[in-house]
A and B are shown apart, each in its own frame.
Chain A
């Protein structure tokens, strides 16, 4: 039975392996193309004076191979889990990767929107991959609704670009006429903030953690969320033409880095911690784009992609082995399987910003660009750096702790992480450790994007000091007391709840909307739909009234004609009595009056017939109305 199961598992793995192979190949091809320079292929016409074109240029030259490589590695790890070992998963991942590729290769707004929104739809399907579970599916919907709400910014941007000169190229947005340019840029930035899970939209990322771990490893490290950062970097040159917007965006980025750092620190679930950290780290990328440090942002994005893919995959493997992603259950997990533990620890160390690992360099390169803009912003950024160190070290300490000797370790002892998973993590770990090299001054110049000034030595020392101090503090507190005791319980709960953002949106937007929709439906049913109904009733009443009037008229006519006839015949008889001599004349008179009666009677009947016809017609209308009412 085991063998049959193995055989079935192996068969189910095939699509994942095929796709992984294909993506590796594509990664190699795109990387070679990227090294050779920019390239552009125009396929056919699309909407709004743009073409379906694939254009490998700028930041995409760096990011596309990264995304494809991460996707391939994620698929390799996915082959090991029952949950994701299926054709459906392979198809959805392929669709998702394709839409990310389209996003990266787009050079006009409509094409970008195509890739961008398809990516959102694929993420909906991937987060709710376990479709039996209504909560997970609802999480997918939350993610899609929030990101689509902000995507409307891109629709506005397309419309503004069309109205402001018809410039659809992403790299030429600054050519738009003044007012429209600001509208277009604001729309683009809004879409970026949503996708990158920046404040106040961050909460969808918390819900997105209901998806399978490999999904988080791709969507919430190198792709989807990272695309928000990518687009910010892509429009960076235009953003400088709109200082107010750039300033606001910079503060949102730095604010998210700090606030989501606190949120991450408050989490007790490893995946939630990593998710909050993703939002925080993307905050640095957004900040970079807003202050004109795009090259550093690009380096940070790549380094972060490797770090987060590594950590989400590790969390997924532990979840697979230990059945939990709660920090309490993961105590000592890194010691139990040392190779996996070392790889994950490397990722966490890099995430903490410890010198001389990747994120220390890239973050400092970004902050160097901030300092000359605004010291206050720089300080907020440093707070983010410190918090980054804190939550990364908090997780490290738990994972490296000596496990409590509990009897149930027996089950886990037998299991071991599948070798292919560990192998797939190695390249990620190498990039996670070494990608900081990109932020070194001689290299940074060749990274796409605006090159910020190099950080002064004291800045590097300061940030290192912040990291080390925070690290020591976290270590000290972890030995003494539970960190949660340091802050009031309500504040802790508020932070763990991602600042209560989801509840707030529910109370402020969703519930009122549902109520309004209900009211609108009631108005539609009870008022609008009743108008024809009422009209029909009115017609029926009117018809009945006319019918009654007609009856009266009928009687009047009949009485009148009978009366006249009687009167005339009386008159005839009187004439008969009066004129006795001429019988002929009498007879003639009688004949004459008789003719008169007949004529009048006939006239009366004509009226009668005419009215009958009217009544009949009205009756038909009434019938129609009655049937309409029944």
Chain B
């Protein structure tokens, strides 16, 4: 079932490659396929049983290249399942939003279906080579999306994105090879590598260093984040949504799937640095966001802030080994919740930014004002998305950030400094929303028509999910928490 889920989108993309498929059919096909994928993901969620610690559930495994210990191996656990479901939801939202796309919708749908497979495949991967292949294919897919459907300096931004994250992936590959070489017998199998970590000491620290570098570029953390703002600014709307909501999570997911369980010893050694990098990302992302005058750049920097919380929580989980285990697993659970939550909320924000672009071909905040009067639906959704993004309780971001701080403050009290990030984010998002939504009316000369159905439906869908998770996080946490506890035990080995 999991393999079906992973490969359904890309298989369904094949017919779209035929040039005679009409645009209208292609758009609806995109919606249909992503909806079926979401339904399948729901089925996977329903059939999921918490596996033993360190194991995966719903495993499909086929020997592929036995000579180098590589196999086709997919499976999910509490760390990946939420991301799988979130990915399918985000892609459905994108498909609905793209119903009014008139720039080569057929090829775009095919490209995004391919991207969906790379994302699902990466989150389900149980083999490092599989992980790496999907990691790099996602970079190629996003490069094509920005290059082919972007605006502004799209070529330059796409290339910067490609080179930066591709070089990062090479560092990742070096790390993977290090793990492979050290494992006895040589293997790329993630479950086996996690159950008996192959490396210790200096070598482990260096291998983890390479892996962290690759993942930090993808996440991105300060100071490797500078590809993100231009990529977002020039990407097409649904490209931005997928980039922020799904692709960034590949970095943070790599931390919990590869770094922590396979190199526990080195993870503990690196964790003070990770905590510092997380804190710096939280504060730096928020501060720089405060100074932005461009809506999309601002949202991009809020992503740096939000991903900073994830790194902070995961770093804290590696500190004070053996003590405060429950607090540290709370931090891990918060980090996973944050990945899901950021996908929903930032996805919604980028869609609303896309709406703004479609109306005015301009992301400058001061070009808009008083939209509450002309576009009430837009205004309400914008306010809710902003409140969610600034971590207001009642939305999923709060559940995530509170858990991260619970864990982080227990082991490094200084992490409370990161709370200032919450305050800064409040300033950033309220200022931006107030500029656009309130005050005297300022709209582009073409006016600012309110959201159409294909615009508000996906945004509202994402936000309602964020609210449900914010008020009743139980079902999500029930899946995440056992995996988080198991992960903290692994780090303590």
Contacts and interface: CB of A to CB of B under 8 A. Distances in A.
B234 to A, nearest CB: 13
Contacts of A44: 472, 474
Contacts of A529: 226, 229
Contact of B399 (A47, A159, A166, A514): A47
A586 B163 CA distance: 62
A150 B479 CA distance: 33
A297 interface: no
Contacts of B284: 520, 524
Contacts of A113: 393, 398, 402
Given A46-B473, A532-B226, A518 B423 contact: no
A516 B159 CA distance: 31
Nearest to B478: A45
B251 to A, nearest CB: 17
Nearest to B437: A131
Nearest to B324: A163
A132 B164 contact: no
Residue with the highest number of chain B CB atoms closer than 10 Å, among A124, A133, A148, A513: A148
Contact of B226 (A121, A531, A536): A531
Contacts of B139: none
B383 to A, nearest CB: 8
A630 to B, nearest CB: 6
A584 to B, nearest CB: 58
A87 to B, nearest CB: 11
Interface stretch (A134-142, A260-268, A271-279, A550-558): A134-142
Nearest to A47: B399
Interface string B310-329: 00000000000000101100
B439 A137 contact: yes
Contact of B438 (A47, A48, A131): A131
Interface string A600-630: 0000000000000000000000001001101
Contacts of A114: 393-394, 398
B487 interface: no
Given A117-B392, A117-B393, A159-B406, A132 B163 contact: no
A521 B292 contact: yes
Contacts, number: 149
A520 B419 contact: no
A439 B216 CA distance: 62
A118 interface: yes
A514 B290 contact: yes
Interface string B282-302: 001001101110000000000
Contacts of B90: none
B405 interface: yes
B392 A48 contact: no
B410 A162 contact: yes
B473 A45 contact: yes
Contact of A628 (B163, B408, B439): B163
A528 B228 CA distance: 12
A137 B438 contact: yes
Contacts of B434: 128, 134, 137-138, 141
A202 B17 CA distance: 64
A14 to B, nearest CB: 19
Given A160-B409, A517-B290, A132 B440 contact: yes
B402 A110 contact: yes
Contacts of B229: 529
Given A110-B402, A118-B392, A624 B159 contact: yes
Interface in B387-406: 387, 392-394, 398-399, 402-403, 405-406
Interface in B414-430: 416, 419-420, 422-423, 426-427, 430
Given A144-B426, A158-B402, A521 B291 contact: yes
A170 to B, nearest CB: 16
A16 B229 CA distance: 45
A53 interface: no
Interface in A37-61: 44-48, 52
B287 A517 contact: yes
Instruction: Say whether chain B's binding surface is mostly helix, strand, loop, or mixed.
Output: helix
Contacts of A125: 383
A162 B229 CA distance: 37
A571 B229 CA distance: 69
A520 B288 contact: yes
B40 to A, nearest CB: 27
A521 B163 CA distance: 23
Contacts of A137: 434, 438-439
A501 interface: no
Contact of B406 (A148, A158, A514, A517): A158
A159 to B, nearest CB: 4
Nearest to B373: A132
A517 B392 contact: no
Majority SS at the chain A contact face: helix
Contacts of A110: 402
A116 B427 CA distance: 18
Interface centre among B156, B288, B373, B408 (most CB of A within 10 A): B288
Given A121-B387, A520-B287, A148 B423 contact: yes
Given A118-B394, A144-B430, A628-B159, A52 B437 contact: no
Interface in A91-136: 110, 113-114, 116-118, 121, 124-125, 128, 131-134
Most chain A beta carbons < 10 A, residue from B405, B430, B472 = B430
B410 A159 contact: yes
B155 interface: yes
A456 to B, nearest CB: 45
Given A159-B410, A160-B409, A132 B474 contact: no
Given A47-B477, A144-B430, A528-B226, A159 B438 contact: no
A624 B162 CA distance: 10
A118 B402 CA distance: 15
A520 B291 contact: yes
A520 to B, nearest CB: 4
A532 B160 contact: yes
A149 interface: yes
A141 B430 contact: yes
A46 B430 CA distance: 27
A531 B167 CA distance: 14
Contacts of B291: 514, 517-518, 520-521
B388 to A, nearest CB: 11
Nearest to B426: A148
A595 B426 CA distance: 82
A19 interface: no
Contacts of B440: 132, 134
A52 B156 contact: no
Given A166-B326, A521-B292, 15 more contacts: A45-B473, A48-B330, A52-B471, A113-B402, A118-B392, A131-B439, A132-B439, A141-B434, A145-B430, A159-B406, A163-B406, A163-B409, A529-B226, A532-B163, A532-B227
List the 6 shortest-distance A-B pairs measured between CB atoms, nearest first: A521-B291, A163-B410, A159-B409, A529-B226, A45-B474, A517-B290
15 contacts: A48-B406, A114-B394, A121-B392, A141-B431, A145-B427, A152-B422, A155-B419, A158-B406, A159-B416, A163-B406, A517-B287, A517-B291, A520-B284, A520-B287, A627-B156
